[in-house]
Amino acid sequence: MRWHMKLLAVVVVVCAPENVGWGQTPLPQLNKKKSVSTGVSCVEPEWFERGQFEDESGIPLAKFGEKIAIDQRNAIVLAQIYRPDSESREAGFAFIYKRLSESWELVQTIVAPPNTFFSSIALRDGLLVLGVPWNGGVGEEAYGAVYLYRADADRSNWTFEGKLLAPVHPDIRGFGASIDLSETRMVVGTNISGNALVIYKRQSDVWEVEAILSVPRSELEGLQSFGDQVAIEGDVLVTGTPYPIGVTGLETRPSETFVYRLVGGAWTLETRIEFEILLDFHFHLQENLLVIKPGYSYLQEYEYTENEWSLKQAIVPPGDFTINSFAGSDLQDDRLVFGGLNTGGDKVILLYERNAIDGAWSHRETIEADVNESSERFGRSMALADNALAVGSPGLVPQVAWGGRAFIFDRLPPLDCDANGFADHCEIDQDWMKDLNFNRILDDCDTPGDVDGNGIVDVNDLLDLLAQWGACSACFADADRDGVVAIDDLLTLLQNWD
């Protein structure tokens, strides 16, 4: 039976303060039907749909799940009030959910400043950063701002910590369109109206401008939005310029990725990587590796060796799938997710894992959900955190007064009852002698004496043992595996009698 309870994001509009507390609603029970195995030997579906966050407020929202973030204890979903008239002022929200043992609760809603909505999000170590790149060109925030919130120890209350305004610079417009956090730094990019990014370094809990990077527009030759997407990790920073859609005469102009490195206290351009086209692109940094989702047929992984970046491998969807160009992606440790389309055009999430020996990526699992393909964009955003995956599925058409929803998938760790580092189902699939009673439990971990494998040692097991008495190859009753059903096996059975 499938449970269909949902978290409801109920928006209170009248005099809404910046932080609003919310109640708790339990999420569905475990449902493993929404995860599909690749069919590879020794692979079982491990990801299941834990539950959904959905707008059923009665006050129409738009883009619920357009941007999403998650860590071990919280998930944050961005949304804004639906405005059928494009001239209307905006109103945006960040819904903060807290993980319980097997469910999530909505603990707080952060309301964007008047006439704005949140366009970007970054979450790390209890710090939440929300970007507002545009407020109608009024006041000190005319060129954008980012807002910082800090969680308490319980992760139930997030307190406003401050805001960073766009520095005065001729190329900084739309400040806050993109954000990323490293351990000690934050990078903030600009949207299409700007052409720069700002790097901050945290000094005694104060964020100070460390550098402003920009590229002359004449050098970009018509490419747009330098700083529209950013990533930072350690002493490496990445940004890019997407394809100039609709600009006549630039059809053959390659898009570019810019990689900077902190050298001697200064951020220095290290390399520029050209692409045939960058559409809805994403960057992911991890030590000396860079994964780029350009927005077309495959992803690319670059490796930094011998003081240069070189293409290490292309990450291609399996044969029955294609890239969903306008879906999200994320990378954490040895796990990578990105949006795909099956042969019927349905949106799915493709999950890859890295081989610990040669570093090659392989398709591990395909994650699906029951969605309305005609009205929502499943996979538009996604974020990984340990054994959890958050996926945004905002409404497909902005004119439709339905905000969308977000999905939480959890990973069920494989059983390793003998703690030998190998999943039990893998050992059984590769050597059936390890599960002689065929109950999908390693015999070494099974109840000794449970000959028929029903979990109870009783008279039926005794009768089976007597029937197998004597020399016997691969008999269920041979508890000590010595090839003979004898007195030792009988004593084991009696010792575990229920």
**Highest mean pLDDT of the ranges 1-10, 143-152, 285-294, 317-326:** 143-152
207 and 80 in a single domain? The answer is yes
385 and 253 in a single domain? The answer is yes
Q: Which domain holds residue 474?
A: 447-498
pTM attached to this predicted model: 0.76
Per-residue pLDDT at 21: 31
State the Cα–Cα distance between residues 466 and 477, nearest whole angstrom.
9
Per-residue pLDDT at 445: 83
The average pLDDT across 328-345 equals 93
- Is residue 149 scored above 70 in pLDDT? yes
336 and 270 in a single domain? The answer is yes
The average pLDDT across 167-180 equals 92
359 and 494 in a single domain? The answer is no
Per the model's pLDDT, the better-predicted residue between 288 and 55 turns out to be: 288
Q: Which of 105, 108, 103 is nearest to 150 (CA)?
A: 108
DSSP result, 310-354: EEEEEE---TT-EE-TTS-EEEETTEEEEEEE-TT--EEEEEEEE
Per-residue pLDDT at 56: 57
Q: Which of 188, 182, 184, 189 is nearest to 202 (CA)?
A: 184
Would residue 105 count as lying in a domain? Answer: yes
Q: How many distinct structural domains can be found in the chain?
A: 2
Given 389, 411, 433, the domain boundary residue is 411
Per the model's pLDDT, the better-predicted residue between 59 and 246 turns out to be: 59
Count of beta carbons in the 10 Å neighbourhood of residue 221: 12
Per-residue pLDDT at 407: 96
Per-residue pLDDT at 352: 95
218 and 330 in a single domain? The answer is yes
- Is residue 37 scored above 50 in pLDDT? no
The average pLDDT across 118-142 equals 86
- Is residue 48 scored above 70 in pLDDT? yes
Would residue 418 count as lying in a domain? Answer: no
Per-residue pLDDT at 435: 76
Would residue 172 count as lying in a domain? Answer: yes
State the Cα–Cα distance between residues 447 and 455, nearest whole angstrom.
7
Average pLDDT of the residues of the chain: 81
Within 25-130, where are the H helices?
Answer: none
Per-residue pLDDT at 69: 98
State the Cα–Cα distance between residues 51 and 3, nearest whole angstrom.
9
Per-residue pLDDT at 404: 87
Q: Which of 134, 149, 150, 127 is nearest to 92 (CA)?
A: 134
Of 4-18, 49-63, 146-160, 262-276, the poorest mean pLDDT is in 4-18
18 and 106 in a single domain? The answer is yes
Would residue 439 count as lying in a domain? Answer: no
Per-residue pLDDT at 15: 31
- Is residue 88 scored above 60 in pLDDT? no
Would residue 212 count as lying in a domain? Answer: yes
pLDDT band at 36; cut points 50, 70, 90: very low
Of 7-21, 68-82, 141-155, 265-279, the poorest mean pLDDT is in 7-21
Per-residue pLDDT at 230: 94
Per-residue pLDDT at 71: 95
Within 205-298, where are the H helices?
Answer: 217-220
50 and 146 in a single domain? The answer is yes
- Is residue 44 scored above 60 in pLDDT? no
- Spatial contact of 250 and 222, defined as CB atoms under 8 Å apart: yes
pLDDT band at 4; cut points 50, 70, 90: very low
Q: What is the CATH number of the domain that holds 95?
A: 2.130.10.130
Q: What is the CATH number of the domain that holds 479?
A: 1.10.1330.10
248 and 363 in a single domain? The answer is yes
**Highest mean pLDDT of the ranges 48-57, 72-81, 398-407:** 72-81
Would residue 422 count as lying in a domain? Answer: no
28 and 133 in a single domain? The answer is yes
Strands 230-233 and 196-203, bridge-based pairing: unpaired
Percent of the chain with pLDDT over 70: 78
Look up tokens 């710090």; give the residue. 127
Q: Which of 202, 204, 161, 211 is nearest to 183 (CA)?
A: 202
Would residue 438 count as lying in a domain? Answer: no
244 and 304 in a single domain? The answer is yes
Structure confidence by residue, pLDDT tens digits, 203-235:
988 999 999 998 876 666 655 678 888 999 999
Would residue 88 count as lying in a domain? Answer: yes
Structure confidence by residue, pLDDT tens digits, 234-279:
999 999 876 554 455 545 556 788 999 999 999 999 999 887 665 6
Of 157-171, 247-261, 464-478, the poorest mean pLDDT is in 247-261
Structure confidence by residue, pLDDT tens digits, 368-412:
998 887 788 999 999 999 889 999 999 875 555 567 899 999 887
Per-residue pLDDT at 5: 34
326 and 473 in a single domain? The answer is no
333 and 399 in a single domain? The answer is yes
Per-residue pLDDT at 400: 56
pLDDT band at 159; cut points 50, 70, 90: very high
Buried b (16+ CB within 10 A) or exposed e, 460-476: ebbebbeebeeebeebb
Per-residue pLDDT at 137: 62
